[in-house]
Structure 1
């Protein structure tokens, strides 16, 4: 028996839409900001709740993602049960994030896909299911802030049925 392939809708990334899954990291007028360094710098302050979890500490890494081709079939999801994980694009290119609620094993009907612009980062809250990095168009670098510490901090599940992210219009 062949599973029906579900096409996922792609949503623009906004703070309100992404709030159940974590934080949008973006410098704009909707966040607290103020001038520092004798008027030379605008500080966009406290943009994400970085949660290294108990006995963990925050680390900074760079992930270099190969571009994914759309349409793309989603067959697995992962989560980090002990800490948050932030992705900040360094290459200025759009990318996709696929997320699902952390309260249960994700099903196709639970998946949400967001199109992130090259100036928008995301911080997945602790335990939020997400697909591994989905760079688009070209090899892209991302600054990652996540956890180092004792214990296993990556759960991976295969989806009960595949779903597809369509090509962008």
Structure 2
């Protein structure tokens, strides 16, 4: 593992905090951007608006545990990417650096709880999600195009260690 130059503590995700990187939906709580439907023994919530602008693929990833060193980030210039927290909380690091590599100084990390959904805008640098202290699964949606290679790039300024909040 590459030695990290600094440490970043993940913060709880919220619409305001995440807005520079894309959109946030709290499907567990609902709200004005979420449609809720009730039935006999069930409650359903979905986003009020479409989260992808192109046909999408669904993925299921097992992320390693926190803490983790950000030694590589990727971005997608051709699609938004939706990250959906499954049964366990996860942490993701993001950066809105517009250059060919994310800047370590631009990194922010967010904790997503079950029901939290983030939609990364096109061009936002991000890591995989990581479970808090243990491996955890999460879902993602994006337009997967095998002809496009989304390169994993080391942040300028060096690796950053990301920790979950105590």
Offset, 1:44 = 3.5
Mapping of residues 86-105 of structure 1, within 5 Å: 86-90=82-86, 92-104=87-99, 105=101
State the Cα RMSD in Å: 2.7
How many angstroms apart in 2 are the aligned matches of 1:38 and 1:45?
21
Mapping of residues 1-169 of structure 1, within 5 Å: 5-27=5-27, 28-35=30-37, 41-46=43-48, 49-52=51-54, 57-65=55-63, 67-70=64-67, 72-90=68-86, 92-104=87-99, 105-149=101-145, 151-160=147-156, 161-166=158-163, 168-169=165-166
Determine if contact 1:25/1:47 at 8 Å carries over to the other structure. no
**Any unmatched runs of 5+ in structure 2?**
none
How many angstroms apart in 2 are the aligned matches of 1:119 and 1:40?
15
Q: Which has the higher strand share?
A: 1
**Any unmatched runs of 5+ in structure 1?**
none
Determine if contact 2:91/2:110 at 8 Å carries over to the other structure. yes
Question: Would you identify which runs of 4 or more consecutive aligned residues in structure 1 move more than 3 Å?
Answer: 34-45
If the length of structure 1 is used for normalisation, what is the TM-score?
0.79
